[in-house]
């Protein structure tokens, strides 16, 4: 992973990344230099903690080109200088364009089996407070709700906060509308219990039933900002497949903050490629990519 936290904010002169070589024009619509890429790396690191390694040149060009078109800029240099000089809504668009939102229902299925066991291990009256911290388009928080309702019943005493830094995916999540195909790996009993099938012009789509959608409190939370809005501590936190975009120093800071908002003995689910065994003072490994907050 790129150690971008060590990168200075000194701007590389623009002709240092000339239009020759891998980052040159090469028939592209907009001028795009190594210096532009360096500027994007610094800005997204500061805003979202995301470390974009050097192999992401082409991806960044393609994701941000649309922003140049929509804002009427002729080059990356112009767009990025304008962005840095404003404090307006384009920052959110910039962040939205650079996040990777891949997700699916019941992704890493074993976590939902563990969650179900955990929920059944306490009296039905226990109030569960759960946070899904990189919820993307919503498949993950809805999988948590389905698991909770199946384990605890329709009147589950269960609060779920679902958050993301990306306003666009969060809007999709709160609508709860998906293609029917995205349910393909899910048992059909769940289709009937939790979803409504679209008809006529909505054929091929499904919508999460309102009573389940209403069980989730969707909000924007930036994991790398120290302004989390939570008042109560969590029994369970899902923080899956987001820390892989952060460098080691950022991961540690985020882990320390997650530790602060969790109850002692609370359970943290992380992604399949994420390992926090260096932070045993905060979390101890309980199972495959499942950690327990130290007491
Ligand atoms: C690959 S998706 C993972 C979605 C889901 N957790 C899963 O495992 O299927 C990563 C998500 O993290 C979000 N993200 C990236 N940086 C973030 C930050 N600083 N704070 C909060 N969310 C962030 C992205 O917007 C994206 O939706």
| Cβ-proximal residues to 184 (8 Å cutoff; 6+ apart), any chain | none
For ligand 1, whether the C-beta of 270 sits within 6 Å is no
The pTM of this model reads 0.92
Which one of the listed residues 63, 77, 190, 252 is annotated catalytic? 63
Task: Give me 132's structure tokens.
Answer: 């899904």
Q: What is the CATH topology of the domain spanning 109-293?
A: Rossmann fold (3.40.50)
Q: What is the pLDDT of residue 27?
A: 78
Among 34, 36, 67, 164, the one annotated catalytic: 164
pLDDT(281) > 50: yes
Q: Read off the tokens for 243.
A: 């820390």
User: How far does the chain reach from its first CA to its final CA, in angstroms?
Assistant: 31
The domain locations on the chain are 4-98, 109-293
DSSP, collapsed to helix, strand or coil, labels residue 171 as: helix
Going from the Cα of 158 to the center of ligand 1, the distance in angstroms, rounded, reads 23
Of the candidates 144, 168, 151, 130, the one whose C-alpha atom is nearest the C-alpha of residue 268 is 130
Looking at residue 25, its pLDDT comes to 56
- Span 190-202, pLDDT tens digits: 999 999 999 999 9
Closest CA to 141 of 167, 163, 158: 163
The fold of 4-98 is Chemotaxis Receptor Methyltransferase Cher; domain 1 (1.10.155)
Predicted confidence (pLDDT) per residue in 162-191, tens digit: 999 999 999 999 999 999 999 998 999 999
Cβ 101 under 6 angstroms from ligand 1: yes
pLDDT tens column, 243-252: 999 999 999 9
Per-residue pLDDT, averaged over 33-48, amounts to 97
- Residue 218 Cα, ligand 1 centroid: separation in angstroms? 14
Topology agreement, domain 4-98 and domain 109-293: no
- Rounded mean pLDDT of 137-165? 97
Distance between CA atoms of residues 146 and 136, nearest Å: 17
Percent of the chain with pLDDT over 70: 91
């Amino acid at each position: 992973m790129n150690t971008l936290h060590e990168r200075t904010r000194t701007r590389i002169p623009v002709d240092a990344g000339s239009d020759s070589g891998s980052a040159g024009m090469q028939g592209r619509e907009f001028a795009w230099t190594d210096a532009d890429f360096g500027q994007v790396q610094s800005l997204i690191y500061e805003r979202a903690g995301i470390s974009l390694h050097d192999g992401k040149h082409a991806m960044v060009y393609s994701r941000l080109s649309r922003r140049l078109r929509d804002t009427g800029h002729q080059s990356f240099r112009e767009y990025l200088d304008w962005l840095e000089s404003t404090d307006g809504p384009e920052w959110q668009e910039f962040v939205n364009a650079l996040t990777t939102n891949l997700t699916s229902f019941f992704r890493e299925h074993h976590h939902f089996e563990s969650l179900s066991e955990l929920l059944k291990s306490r009296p039905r009256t226990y109030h569960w407070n759960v946070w899904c911290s990189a919820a993307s388009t919503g498949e993950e928080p809805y999988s948590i709700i389905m698991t909770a309702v199946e384990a605890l019943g329709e009147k589950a005493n269960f609060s779920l906060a679902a958050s993301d830094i990306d306003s666009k995916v969060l809007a999709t999540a709160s609508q709860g509308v998906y293609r029917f195909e995205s349910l393909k790996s899910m048992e059909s009993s769940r289709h009937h219990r939790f979803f409504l099938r679209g008809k006529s012009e909505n054929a091929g789509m499904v919508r999460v039933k309102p009573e389940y959608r209403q069980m989730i409190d969707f909000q924007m939370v930036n994991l790398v900002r120290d302004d989390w809005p939570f008042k109560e501590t969590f029994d369970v936190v899902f923080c899956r497949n987001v820390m892989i975009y952060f460098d080691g120093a950022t991961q540690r800071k985020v882990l320390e903050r997650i530790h602060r908002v969790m109850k002692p003995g609370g359970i943290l689910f992380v992604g399949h490629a994420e390992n926090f065994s260096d932070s045993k003072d905060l979390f101890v490994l309980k199972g495959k990519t499942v950690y327990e907050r130290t007491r």
